[in-house]
């Protein structure tokens, strides 16, 4: 913090005196005083970004010369404190496109989009959080709630499989005769907390026409 003090007036004895002044640096502060510095300096006002006044007493050298009563200097001061908060880097993001299993009226497959922090969620949770249809009719009723014991949350990874974890033992058991691109959403972690990119997912690949 740097403080700058401006000399306003000096009271010495019973009258006011004009002054010659000089500047000195001390403890990272800049202040002004007379060639015969008085004993006490008082800051009348200061402005900081935190609105906390700074009060200094007994700054400077010893008292002035003779005469009745010690000299006193009245100074106006301003101080500015600048604090910066270090910016927190953003976490890597994975963008996801979910392709519907049936062609729409315009002749194209519908696509729904979502995004997630890399390595933060399972594919199943991302789909449910974004209200993207995951289960076929049977799975809607009989799914195990993400426990990996039913094999009904099947998806196909069209692109971006390198952004996902490897197939788990559960998947190897349920998808043994299925294409390697098929995954169980409840077993698929999207991202690894460091990577970012785009994953394209085919919903309900068993329904695709």
Domain extents for the chain? 2-80, 93-207
Task: Decide if 69 contacts 168 (C-beta within 8 A).
Answer: no
Q: What is the pLDDT of residues 90-116, one digit of tens each?
A: 999 999 999 999 998 999 999 999 999
What are the DSSP calls for 12-27, one per residue?
ETTEEE---EEEEEET
Higher pLDDT, 3 or 122: 122
How many angstroms separate the CA atoms of 88 and 164, rounded?
25
Q: What is the pLDDT of residues 161-187, one digit of tens each?
A: 999 999 999 999 999 999 999 999 999
Query: Range with the lowest mean pLDDT among 8-22, 61-75, 79-93?
Result: 8-22
User: What is the per-residue pLDDT for 158?
Assistant: 97
User: What is the per-residue pLDDT for 88?
Assistant: 83
| CATH number belonging to the domain at 93-207, selected among 2.60.40.10, 3.10.20.30, 1.20.1090.10, 3.40.640.10 | 3.10.20.30
User: What is the per-residue pLDDT for 17?
Assistant: 40
pTM, entire model = 0.59
| β-bridge pairing 197-203 and 154-159 | antiparallel
Q: What is the pLDDT of residues 33-73, one digit of tens each?
A: 434 444 444 444 444 444 444 444 444 444 444 444 444 44
């Amino acid at each position: 913090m740097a403080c700058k003090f401006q000399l306003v007036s000096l009271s010495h004895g019973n009258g006011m005196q004009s002054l010659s002044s000089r500047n000195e640096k001390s403890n990272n502060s800049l202040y002004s005083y007379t060639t015969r510095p008085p004993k006490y300096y008082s800051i009348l006002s200061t402005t900081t970004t935190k609105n906390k006044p700074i009060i200094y007493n007994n700054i400077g050298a010893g008292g002035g010369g003779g005469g009745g009563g010690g000299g006193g200097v009245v100074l106006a001061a301003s101080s500015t404190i600048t604090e910066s908060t270090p910016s927190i880097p953003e976490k890597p993001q994975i963008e996801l496109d979910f392709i519907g299993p049936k062609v729409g009226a315009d002749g194209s497959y519908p696509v729904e989009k979502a995004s997630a922090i890399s390595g933060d969620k399972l594919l199943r949770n991302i789909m449910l959080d974004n209200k993207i249809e995951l289960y076929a009719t049977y799975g809607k009723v009989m799914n195990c709630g993400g426990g990996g014991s039913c094999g009904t949350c099947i998806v196909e990874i069209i692109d971006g499989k390198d952004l996902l974890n490897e197939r788990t033992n559960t998947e190897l058991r349920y998808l043994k005769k299925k294409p390697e691109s098929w995954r169980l959403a409840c077993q698929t972690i999207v991202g690894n907390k460091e990577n970012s990119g785009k994953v394209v997912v085919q919903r309900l690949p068993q329904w695709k026409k």
